[in-house]
Amino acid sequence: MIRHLLSGLALASLATAAHAAFDVDRLLADLAQHKGGRAKFVEKRYLAVLDRPLVATGEMTYTAPDRLEKRTLTPQPETVLLDKDTLAFERGTRRVTIRLANQPEALAFVDSIRNTLAGNREALERNYALALSGDADNWVLTLSPSERRIAALLQRITVNGSGDQIRSIEYLLADGDRSELSIEPLERP
Amino acid sequence: MRLTAGRTFLLWLLAMLAGAAIVWNSRFSADISFFLPARPSAEQQVLVDQLREGAVSRLLMLAVEGGDATARAAASRALQQRLAALPEFVAVQNGDAGSHDAERDFLFAHRYLLSPAVTPERFTEAGLAAAVSNSIDLLASPAGLLLKPFLTRDPTGELVELLGGLNAGAEPDSVEGVWASRDGARALLLVQTRALGSDTDGQQRAIALIREQFAAVHGAESLDLQLSGPGLFAVKARDTIRAEVARLSTISLGAIVAVLFFVYRSPRLLALSLLPVASGALAGVVAVSLAFGTVFGITVGFGAALIGEAVDYAIYYFVQSGRLGVDGWRQRYWPTIRLGVLTSVFGFGALLFSGFPGLAQLGLYTLAGVLTAALVTRFVLPRLAGPARGVTLSGRADAVLSGALRHARRLRWPVLALALAAVVHLALQREQLWLPNLSALSTTSEADAALDTRLRADLGAPDARYLAVVTAPDRETALAAAERAGQRLDRLVADGVIGGYDSPARFLPSAATQAARRASLPTAEALRPRLAAALADSPLSAARLDPFLADVEAARRQPLLGRDALEGTGLALVVDSLLLEGAAGWSVLLPLRPAGGAHGAELPIDAVRAALAGSGVLFVDMKGEFDALYGDYIGEAAWLSAAGFVAIALLLLAALRSPRRLAGVLLPLVLSVAIVIAGLHLAGERLHLLHLVGMLLIVAVGSNYALFFDRLAAGATHDAGTLTSMAVAATTTAIGFGTLALSSVPVLHAIGVTVGPGVLLALLLSAAFAPADTRR
């Protein structure tokens, strides 16, 4: 009985969401509601210097608002953990911890994904111009760097999603190399 | 030949002039050597060298505050450029983006001589396949951005190997492209002076230059410069000590002159009384200069106390010889005074054996001073003063004092109760009575220390706490030894025992190692087919790697690296600070970092020692050595104080020939010590080494007064003047030591605050416990 009531409430809230105008604020507000979860990812990197793309797979875990862990399982186990202002990178016996405040470019880079997840528009617009197309069920958010130093590295970030779930992220680097990250949620806490 | 007054004065003057000439040529110092061990162990020697001359001792940390981030960054850049152009500075870093390009370019250009991964196996088909595959994997990771531009020239990833050994993550934060504090409110710079840490003049010039250049840089902007580092501490300590020497001596002399004038009411006697004092002060500096070569500023500051102690003998002479005349005085009083001089000499003499050079100097200075003052009083003063020209007191003062003396006896039981309470308090507090570290003796103010800690944390400046040290007769052997030590340390890094280490051999490998690496590079003809086979299935096609083949071929003909090749990069600085030429040969310092990377984390010392055992590598924990050093000093000071006390007791026993009289002399002194120390502790004074030494000095100096009471008790005629002279002498001594209590230099303050009250109390208690038959 209670479950029915709850799903009824959920439906009702979905209906309200659908009626509201769909814009960047709406999308980011929805994303901000998402408190975290686990997902499988497949990452494909297209590099001019290589004859074929590099493919990596693994799992990502997001914990709102500022913890993102990317655990690559193939071809080489590797963990990247973004926690507040540090980026820890672990591969085999090698561990590197970078304080992002030292690396403004790296910070802007990783903050694009984290601030999208957290729905933090103000932080996103500090470094990027935002453009949104599509509707709530299939939206595309484009981030174009406005900061000169980031633009030197990165042409564009394209985030694709449905509702409050991000489905893919594509980074297009300044030199034309690009990387596609497809995300498939495993569970919702 | 009988010496006339004129001849005596002439002889005295000649001696004084000779002394003045020696003092004029003496080297005065206010640096940290005061606290460094005179007879260091091998580990302590490393500590001493690092503190006096090490790279860390030459670092100054600068912070630009105020204005906005843009103004601070602009000031940081302008200051960096101006300072870097000056010969007084070896390096000036502000984290300006691009400032590491020179280092990276150097590492890249010489990667096949520098990379530890370069072995013959690496250039076999299997080795190439593994290395390139690893590089391609790395491309997909955050490190890939760095690697990508170099991939076709460096597909085996030697640059990554080299950078991986560097200390990543220890750089300060960056705002507007230059180093900044964590909160972003300060722009930071790190300066290495050419002047050694022990060269206080050089440090002072460097600091003045920095301030001057900053004033020229910040112009209209309201920016402030903050500065800290060992050099600044040394300069400030010297300024403090200089000011204190002048201030304390003036106060002490002024107050003592006032007291003497009140008693004598004769400028001539006053001037004559100061004669032994001036002689003693001069003799003290001469003795220290001749024995140690260098006179510490703090030692001269101790002069304020010496004035008070040395003037006593003249007071005894002038007050006591008033009625008796010179010969009578010599006969009746001199033996007692001589014994008092000897107890003082024994007390201060005990300090001569200290391995703490500061303490040994204080001991020698005071010993020479007191002895000279006493001898001048005995042999020079009477001739100059002429016959029987002492003060003739009305006897009223003595009458008043005798009355007071009778009252003093009533204090016996209360004093005993107080002393018992003091002893109980000290016994209960004995575990936490003494401060456990040397920093209590540092002249650095708390505000300066706090600023230093803050800047150090902001900069992530190395505290270089753990060092592995290798020594060798020449540079090549030293580098080879550093490489062998590095192999052991590599295992510790792999096991996670330590976080990492620095080595000069990383940027300047031994010639043998470089040659071996170069010899493992194949010719282009040999390499090309191996590469093609290795990359048959790789996403990276061998056809793209011609730049790699060209670079390897070039590297085969590259000359080996010498120290000169590093010039113009920050790496030269690293190598020079870690590879040192000393009198006994070369030594290599390998600073170790704790695992975890957190600032202030500790290394598992025993595990590191075990791993390095038998390799000839000396492992030093600087903080541990420093703490142990202070522990040694405390232990030694306690031992010396006890030995000094025993020596004084034996001397008195030999002179008094009666255990009962000995007990009568020592009891008030011991009670005074207990009451003073307990009182200081209760008053919140942080007790350290110098308070401990002060306890011995209370006994050494206070016994002078106790002996007079013993003499009176033994049935000596009670002359008018005896009590007065003692009261005046104790007052001047208390003034002299008490003045030191005003000092902001902890060494002087501690002795002053202990001995000043201790001497007065010793007089009072000696009076209270004087046997009954002292009364007329």
ipTM of the complex: 0.72
pLDDT at A7 over 80: no
If pLDDT is split at 50, 70 and 90, which confidence band does B162 have?
Answer: confident
Let me know if residue A167 belongs to a domain.
yes
Nearest to B132 by CA among B155, B153, B148, B159: B155
Interchain CB contact of B142 with A (< 8 Å) = yes
Interchain CB contact of B396 with A (< 8 Å) = no
Phi, psi of B399 (to 5 degrees): -60, -45
Task: Please judge whether A91 and B145 are an interchain contact, meaning their C-beta atoms are less than 8 angstroms apart.
Answer: no
Nearest to B492 by CA among B628, B624, B615, B578: B615
Q: Which residue has better confidence, B369 or B714?
A: B369
**How many domains are contained in chain A?**
1
Structure confidence at residue B394 (pLDDT): 60
Q: Which residue has better confidence, B328 or B424?
A: B424
If pLDDT is split at 50, 70 and 90, which confidence band does B184 have?
Answer: confident
Task: Please judge whether B140 and A56 are an interchain contact, meaning their C-beta atoms are less than 8 angstroms apart.
Answer: yes
pLDDT at B615 over 50: yes
User: Searching chain B, which residue's CA lies closest to the CA of residue A173?
Assistant: B145
Contacts of B483 (CB under 8 A, 6+ apart): B503, B505, B509, B510, B513
Lowest mean pLDDT among B329-338, B457-466, B565-574, B675-684: B457-466
Task: Please judge whether A96 and B174 are an interchain contact, meaning their C-beta atoms are less than 8 angstroms apart.
Answer: no
Interchain CB contact of B139 with A (< 8 Å) = yes
Q: What is the mean pLDDT of residues B323-330?
A: 78
If pLDDT is split at 50, 70 and 90, which confidence band does B498 have?
Answer: confident
pLDDT at B735 over 90: yes
If pLDDT is split at 50, 70 and 90, which confidence band does B651 have?
Answer: very high
Interchain CB contact of A102 with B (< 8 Å) = yes
Interchain CB contact of B594 with A (< 8 Å) = no
Structure confidence at residue B599 (pLDDT): 54
> What residues of B are in contact with residue A102 (Cβ under 8 Å)?
171-174
Out of A53, A76, A89, name the one closest to residue B142 (CB).
Answer: A89
Structure confidence at residue A17 (pLDDT): 43
Structure confidence at residue B568 (pLDDT): 76
Task: Please judge whether B174 and A76 are an interchain contact, meaning their C-beta atoms are less than 8 angstroms apart.
Answer: no
User: Can you tell me which residue has the tokens 């001199």?
Assistant: B334
C-alpha B424, offset from chain centre: 35
If pLDDT is split at 50, 70 and 90, which confidence band does A8 have?
Answer: very low
Interchain CB contact of A1 with B (< 8 Å) = no
CATH number (domain holding residue A71): 2.50.20.10
> What residues of A are in contact with residue B142 (Cβ under 8 Å)?
80, 87, 89, 106
The SS3 of residue B587 is strand
pLDDT at B439 over 90: no
Structural Rg of chain B based on CA atoms:
35
If pLDDT is split at 50, 70 and 90, which confidence band does B17 have?
Answer: very high
Full residue range of the structural domain in which residue A84 is found: 22-187
> What residues of B are in contact with residue A111 (Cβ under 8 Å)?
none
> What residues of A are in contact with residue B169 (Cβ under 8 Å)?
96-99
Q: What is the mean pLDDT of residues B90-98?
A: 79
If pLDDT is split at 50, 70 and 90, which confidence band does B582 have?
Answer: confident
Q: What is the mean pLDDT of residues A141-148?
A: 87
Lowest mean pLDDT among B186-195, B232-241, B374-383, B577-586: B577-586
> What residues of B are in contact with residue A104 (Cβ under 8 Å)?
174
Q: CA–CA distance from B202 to each of B28, B59, B216 (Å)? A: 15, 13, 21
**Cβ density class A2-15: b for 16+ within 10 Å, e for less:** eeeeeeeeeeeeee
> What residues of B are in contact with residue A51 (Cβ under 8 Å)?
539-541
pLDDT at B97 over 50: yes
Structure confidence at residue B63 (pLDDT): 93
Q: Which residue has better confidence, A66 or B488?
A: B488
Q: Which residue has better confidence, A9 or A22?
A: A22
> What residues of B are in contact with residue A88 (Cβ under 8 Å)?
none
Segments making up each domain of chain B, as ranges: 5-26+234-442+625-774
Structure confidence at residue B170 (pLDDT): 58
Structure confidence at residue B141 (pLDDT): 66
Summarised one tens digit per residue, pLDDT across range B235-269 is: 998 888 889 889 999 999 999 999 998 888 888 88
Contacts of B762 (CB under 8 A, 6+ apart): B668, B669, B672, B698, B701, B702, B703, B705, B706, B730
What mean pLDDT value characterizes chain B?
86
User: Searching chain A, which residue's CA lies closest to the CA of residue B544?
Assistant: A49
Beta-carbon pairs below 8 A across chains A and B: 63
| Long-range pairs of A183-187 with CB within 8 A, sequence gap ≥ 24 | A183/A39, A183/A40, A183/A41, A183/A60, A184/A39, A184/A40, A184/A41, A185/A37, A185/A38, A185/A39, A186/A37, A186/A38, A186/A39, A186/A40, A186/A59, A187/A37, A187/A38
Structure confidence at residue B169 (pLDDT): 45
pLDDT at B189 over 80: yes
Q: What is the mean pLDDT of residues B357-380?
A: 92
pLDDT at B133 over 60: yes
Task: Please judge whether B164 and A94 are an interchain contact, meaning their C-beta atoms are less than 8 angstroms apart.
Answer: yes
- Best mutation site among B96, B135, B141 for testing chain A: the one with the most A CBs within 10 Å? B141
Summarised one tens digit per residue, pLDDT across range B534-568 is: 888 888 888 888 999 899 999 999 999 988 888 87
pLDDT at A3 over 60: no
> What residues of B are in contact with residue A93 (Cβ under 8 Å)?
494
> What residues of B are in contact with residue A72 (Cβ under 8 Å)?
140-141
Q: What is the mean pLDDT of residues B747-765?
A: 92
Nearest to B351 by CA among B626, B643, B629: B643
pLDDT at B31 over 90: no
Lowest mean pLDDT among A29-43, A106-120, B157-171: B157-171
pLDDT > 90 in chain B, percent = 32
Interchain CB contact of B143 with A (< 8 Å) = yes
Q: What is the mean pLDDT of residues B298-325?
A: 85
Task: Please judge whether A89 and B139 are an interchain contact, meaning their C-beta atoms are less than 8 angstroms apart.
Answer: no
pLDDT at B392 over 70: no
Out of B141, B164, B540, name the one closest to residue A78 (CB).
Answer: B141
pLDDT at B1 over 60: no
If pLDDT is split at 50, 70 and 90, which confidence band does B167 have?
Answer: low
pLDDT at B83 over 60: yes
Structure confidence at residue B214 (pLDDT): 92
Q: What is the mean pLDDT of residues A103-114?
A: 72
Structure confidence at residue A104 (pLDDT): 64
This prediction has a pTM of 0.76
If pLDDT is split at 50, 70 and 90, which confidence band does B604 have?
Answer: confident
